[in-house]
């Protein structure tokens, strides 16, 4: 068993298969290779791992992590949830977008340890026991991708964006800020999704997919 993960946690099929495989590489220090490579030369004085409990897709996970571990690396390298993608790793592309307590964030620009006890939803957690989330189904129906690398970030971001829109949050292109529920036009969708870059430029179909999921005419 990977010593990163507390023995008391619920192990799902995926974790057994993939975390178990990764454990061979990680079991010596319990740190991801990335973090070890970039450490201070005075490694003997480097702070040890810290314990973090994350609620990921409704499941509690207790991890022992180097404080440097980003939320994205915790998800991908320690929980084998590789749906969230590492694109730029600098908050510029949106491929790593996940939902934190229902709000979309860049998981590459935050530390896992900062989110102890908080609820994270990744692309793996959107479907409901085998039934695709409406946003996932809409992306397929409208062919809202080509290579697919940005897609999990796009879908998580679009899901968070609809939450924001339903809560009445404005955007830079909202004409009347005082309006309690700005209408979700194409221009609004494009502005609100500007934090997700698609190198294949599937944008027209992404907008159509989001409109379908929002219940708007496409």
Partner 1 sequence: MKSFTYERADTLARATTSLAKPGTKVIAGGTNLLDLMKLQVESPSQLVDINRLPLDKIEDTPDGGLRIGATVRNSDLAADPRVRQRYGVLSRALLAGASAQLRNKATTGGNLLQRTRCYYFYDVTKPCNKRNPGSGCAALGGFNRVHAILGASDQCIATNPSDMAVAMRALDASVETVNGKGESRVIPIADLHRLPGSTPQIETTLKADEIITAVTVPPPPPGVQIYRKVRDRSSYAFALVSVAAIVESSGGRIRSARVAFGGLAPKPWRVPQAEQKLAGASVSAETVNVVATAVLDGARGYGSNDFKIPLTRRTLRAVLVEATGT
Q: Is 114 in the site for partner 1 (CB under 8 A)?
A: yes
The single residue among 8, 47, 130, 217 that binds partner 1, judged by CB under 8 A, is 47
Which span (8-16, 34-42, 78-86, 137-145) binds partner 1, by CB under 8 A?
34-42
- How far is it, in rounded angstroms, from Cα 62 to Cα 1? 13
- Give every strand in the sheet of 59-65, ordered side by side: 59-65, 50-56, 119-121, 97-100, 103-106
Distances (CA, A) of 37 to 41, 43, 65, 69, 216: 10, 10, 15, 13, 49
Alpha-carbon distance of 210 to 142, in angstroms, equals 9
Separation CA 106–CA 101 (nearest Å): 13
Element (H, E) at 62: strand 59-65
Return the range that interacts with partner 1 (CB under 8 A); candidates 10-18, 87-95, 136-144, 210-218. Answer: 87-95
Contact segment (CB under 8 A) with partner 1 among 2-10, 20-28, 136-144, 191-199 equals 191-199
Within positions 120 to 149, which residues make up the interface with partner 1, using CB under 8 A? Answer: none
Under the binding rule (CB under 8 A), the answer on residue 170 touching partner 1 is: yes
CB of 60 or CB of 195, closer to partner 1: 195
Residue the block writes with tokens 């068993």: 1
> Which of the stretches 55-63, 64-72, 134-142, 207-215 binds partner 1 when contact is defined by CB under 8 A?
64-72
Closest CA to 22 of 45, 48, 3, 47: 3
Q: Which is nearer to partner 1, 19 or 123 (CB)?
A: 123
Number of H helices, E strands in the chain: 8, 5
Which of 64, 68, 86, 133 contacts partner 1 by CB under 8 A? 68
Q: Which residues bind partner 1 (CB under 8 A)?
A: 35, 38-40, 46-47, 50, 66-68, 70, 89-91, 94, 97, 100, 103-106, 109-111, 113-114, 116, 157, 160-161, 164, 167-172, 174, 177-178, 190-196
């Amino acid at each position: 068993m990977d010593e990163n993960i507390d023995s008391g946690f619920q192990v799902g099929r995926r974790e057994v298969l993939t975390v178990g495989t990764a454990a061979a590489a990680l079991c010596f220090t319990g740190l991801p290779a990335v973090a070890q490579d970039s450490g201070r030369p005075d490694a003997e004085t480097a702070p040890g791992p810290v314990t973090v409990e994350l609620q990921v897709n409704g499941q509690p996970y207790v991890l022992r992590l180097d404080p440097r571990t980003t939320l994205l690396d915790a998800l991908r390298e320690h929980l084998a949830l590789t749906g969230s993608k590492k694109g730029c790793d600098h908050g510029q592309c949106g491929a790593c977008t996940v939902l934190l307590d229902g709000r979309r964030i860049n998981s590459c620009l935050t530390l896992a340890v900062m989110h102890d006890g908080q609820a994270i939803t990744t692309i793996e957690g959107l479907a409901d026991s085998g039934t695709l989330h409406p946003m996932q189904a809409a992306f397929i129906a409208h062919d809202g991708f080509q290579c697919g690398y940005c897609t999990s970030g796009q879908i998580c971001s679009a899901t968070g964006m609809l939450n924001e829109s339903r809560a009445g949050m404005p955007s830079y292109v909202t004409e009347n800020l005082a309006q309690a529920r700005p209408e979700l036009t194409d221009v609004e969708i494009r502005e609100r999704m500007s934090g997700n870059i698609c190198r294949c430029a599937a944008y027209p179909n992404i907008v159509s997919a989001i409109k379908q999921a929002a219940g708007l005419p496409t």
